[in-house]
Amino acid sequence: VTWSETSHVPTSFKNVRVIAFDVLGTVANYRKTLYQVWKQIVTPKHDVVLSGLDFDVFVQDWYGAYTEIKKENFAKKRPVSDDITLHESLVHILKRYYIKENLSESEIEQLCDAWRNIGVYDDASIGIRRLKNHTSQKYATIAISDTLSTRSMVELAQNNCLCWHGLFTAEMFASANS
């Protein structure tokens, strides 16, 4: 996502009133945040297996496991926090990769905690503010995540100065599918 200055709003935006953002990977740079924490944990260990891991694939698998567990929990009407679901899915992936024993429980928690402190792409918060306050047209901004809870979305907004007008969160998507 890159904000580019324009002197006017394109005519194709004439009737646009709301701009919605799918948060993860578009606004929130979760891969970068998680990679930084991973490097802090792995570098001092000098562990060849952990150091050689394809982290992008690992994070993709972790997120995939997280979404599957989240869907299962909603289907069973079992309300579980994102923190617990992230932990369960991380342990599942670490076992699948045969590296769970290479990390301590506190290091696993450190990785899970990184999700609560996800950063955003450098221009995200300023771009969203500019959209909200554009001189010729003020847009309502909506954050969307079918996987993150309301609590997680609020924390993301608070930690990164994202001033959304509204949120569509995992709980809303789950209740719509019930």
Rounded-to-integer distance, Cα 82 and Cα 88, Å: 10
pLDDT at 6: 53
Tokens 């221009």 -> residue: 123
Q: Which residues contact 42 (CB under 8 A, 6 or more apart)?
A: 50, 51
Of 34, 19, 25, the closest CA to residue 113 belongs to 34
- What does the block give as tokens for 82? 């994102």
CB 67 within 8 A of CB 82: no
Rounded-to-integer distance, Cα 65 and Cα 60, Å: 9
pLDDT at 123: 81
pLDDT at 5: 55
Q: Which parts of the chain register pLDDT below 70?
A: 1-10, 134-137, 175-178
pLDDT at 176: 60
pLDDT at 1: 46
Q: What is the pTM of this model?
A: 0.81
pLDDT at 134: 67
